């Protein structure tokens, strides 16, 4: 297993003034082993102002966004896409928005609207006659095959796991899951089952494609229940990524690790079955040329995110809040069902962050402590809480690191996708994931680590302890485990105390 090399961190995909179609031809160059990482203060893409001074750019509430909405919705008199008022989504049931603090840029306004309007886009795609492919669990691989076809829209129904947070547990889908015997003791992804029962949140897919094997037990169990409801589910297997035996042929993966050649060949054969299923749905073959073009588009998105992460993690003062950076990273999975819009908005957001770094504009106090965050949070408001407690994001592993690596372009496309799928941190051991996180902490100079457990999630039962122990053995930084429910209001003070303790210990050079 090769060590991450900080000196190999290079500038990611740049922002372009050309339209997305032209930008797609400009594949960014960035070393996969670092996925946009670099040492703090070592900025390659944007140089801070030479005076070293910083200017505040405060986060704002939903109400403030509403007051300034019109001024942010136009560009030289032309209305930009995805610039509707965020209050509209809150009025439609996304009530958690009223309790969040937002980045004040128009690029972030568009990012939020892209995320919150996916249901509308899926229904529009259905009306336009698109084939809808629901993808479960693989996180970033199957959509690339689907988007190699014209008039196909791919999405992740398991993205409904944020529904309990966004709708503050008010959605009918949660009550439907409860009635089906899947109550709040389960992972929040149970909202996906309720959405299929009620028919809310997204139209019925033409096909569901679910990875099984070395995957999340919660999603697999829910997918079986969804199949029992009469939905057509195609299952493909991803094996547990094991360490090669002595003398066994090995193949390098995009994250710098290796896997047995036999496992890569097996996953490639499974993805070939997925390809055939999608071809059968559309009645058209998926050519290697189309797959290469789809991989290039995915790499453009990944390159933009890589540079965005690099700047946010390494800038002397934080140029973008944790919440917006989290959403930007998630676009790597399936582009929020709009590949062109995702490229356009990520480019806009990257332009904004570059400008802030160049001009010394910060959204947080300069002395906020750099924190590495492990696992996505079930309650988005906790990202605000971290910053209120004096922290800033300096490194993340949201279970999607494989979806942030560039996909190899010097291989046949199906083998490249197989290698990418096997780099999924959830199909390897917890010890492998812990080692990967520890290397990134050392590269970035993160001064504290917070491991956010997901309530009811089977993979969080012991993994957090393994990761914490590995980091403590290797690095002299405080490590704190917290559990974040979808609505954390009732335990806000407990979470605040634990996060503040980690930040203060790190501020004074201690470990925990």
Is 315 within a domain? yes
Decide: 251 and 258 in contact? Cβ < 8 Å: yes
Total structural domains within the chain: 1
Is 473 within a domain? yes
- Predicted pLDDT at 150: 94
- Predicted pLDDT at 52: 54
Range of the domain at 131: 6-507
- Predicted pLDDT at 179: 92
The whole-angstrom separation of Cα 438 and Cα 446 is 10
- Predicted pLDDT at 37: 53
Decide: 377 and 484 in contact? Cβ < 8 Å: yes
Write the burial class of residue 63 (CB in 10 Å: 0-12 exposed, 13-18 middle, 19+ buried).
exposed
Is 1 within a domain? no
- Predicted pLDDT at 451: 97
The whole-angstrom separation of Cα 76 and Cα 360 is 25
CA 356 from centroid of its chain's CA atoms: 23
Is 249 within a domain? yes
- Predicted pLDDT at 54: 64
From the CB of residue 400, how many other CB atoms can be counted at a distance below 10 Å? 18
The whole-angstrom separation of Cα 155 and Cα 205 is 9
The whole-angstrom separation of Cα 478 and Cα 510 is 7
Phi-psi region of 335 (alpha: psi -120 to 50; beta: other; left: phi over 0): left
Q: Is 153 helix (H, G, I), strand (E, B) or coil?
A: strand
pTM for the full predicted model: 0.89
Is 81 within a domain? yes
- Predicted pLDDT at 50: 45
Is 512 within a domain? no
- The per-residue b/e assignment along 210-231, b for 16 or more CB within 10 angstroms, e otherwise, is bbbebbbebbbbbbebbeeeeb
Is 467 within a domain? yes
Is 469 within a domain? yes
The whole-angstrom separation of Cα 345 and Cα 20 is 10
Name the stretches of the chain with pLDDT < 70.
1-54, 70-78, 459-460, 510-512
Encode pLDDT of 78-91 as tens digits.
678 899 899 999 99
């Amino acid at each position: 297993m090769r060590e991450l090399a900080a000196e190999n961190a290079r500038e990611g995909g740049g922002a372009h003034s050309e339209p997305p179609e032209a930008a797609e031809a400009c594949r960014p160059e960035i070393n996969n082993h670092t996925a946009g990482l670099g040492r703090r203060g070592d900025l390659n893409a944007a140089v801070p102002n030479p005076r070293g001074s910083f200017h505040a750019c405060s986060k704002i509430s939903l109400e403030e966004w509403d007051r300034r909405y019109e001024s942010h919705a136009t560009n030289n008199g032309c209305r930009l896409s995805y610039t509707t008022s965020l209050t509209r989504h809150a009025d439609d049931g996304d009530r958690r928005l009223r309790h969040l603090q937002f980045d004040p840029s128009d690029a972030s306004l568009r990012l939020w609207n892209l995320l919150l309007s996916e249901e509308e886009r899926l229904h529009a795609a259905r009306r336009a006659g698109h084939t809808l492919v629901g993808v479960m669990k693989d996180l970033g691989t199957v959509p690339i095959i689907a988007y190699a076809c014209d008039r196909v829209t791919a999405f992740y129904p398991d993205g409904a796991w944020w529904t309990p947070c966004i709708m503050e547990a008010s959605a009918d889908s949660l009550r439907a899951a409860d009635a089906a015997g899947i109550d709040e003791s389960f992972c929040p992804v149970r909202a996906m089952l309720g959405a299929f029962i009620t028919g809310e949140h997204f139209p019925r897919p033409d096909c569901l494609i679910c990875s099984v094997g070395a995957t999340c037990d919660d999603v697999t169990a829910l997918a079986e229940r969804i199949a029992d409801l009469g939905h057509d589910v195609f299952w493909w297997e991803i094996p547990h990524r094991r360490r090669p035996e002595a003398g066994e042929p090995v193949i390098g993966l995009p994250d710098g690790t290796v896997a047995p050649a036999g496992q890569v060949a097996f996953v490639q054969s499974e993805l070939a079955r997925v390809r055939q299923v999608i071809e059968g749905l559309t009645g058209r073959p998926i050519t290697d040329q189309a797959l290469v073009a789809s991989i290039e588009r995915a790499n453009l998105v990944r390159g933009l995110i890589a540079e965005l992460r690099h700047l946010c993690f390494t800038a002397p003062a934080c140029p973008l809040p944790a919440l917006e950076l989290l959403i930007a990273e998630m676009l790597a999975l399936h582009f929020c069902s709009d590949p062109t819009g995702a490229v356009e908005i990520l480019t806009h957001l990257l332009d904004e962050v570059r400008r802030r770094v160049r001009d010394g504009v910060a959204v947080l106090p300069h002395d906020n402590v750099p924190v590495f965050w492990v696992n996505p949070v079930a309650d988005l408001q906790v990202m605000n809480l971290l910053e209120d407690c004096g922290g800033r994001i300096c490194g993340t592993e949201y279970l999607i690191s494989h979806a942030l690596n560039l996909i190899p372009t010097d291989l046949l496309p199906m083998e490249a996708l197989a290698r990418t799928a096997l780099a999924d941190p959830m199909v390897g051991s917890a010890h492998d994931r812990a080692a990967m996180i520890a290397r990134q902490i050392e590269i970035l100079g993160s001064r504290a680590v917070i491991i956010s457990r997901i309530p009811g999630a089977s993979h969080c039962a012991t993994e957090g302890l393994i990761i914490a122990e590995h980091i403590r053995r290797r690095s002299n930084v405080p490590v704190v485990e917290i559990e974040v429910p979808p609505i954390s209001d009732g335990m806000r003070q407990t979470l605040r105390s634990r996060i503040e303790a980690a930040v203060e210990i790190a501020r004074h050079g201690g470990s925990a």
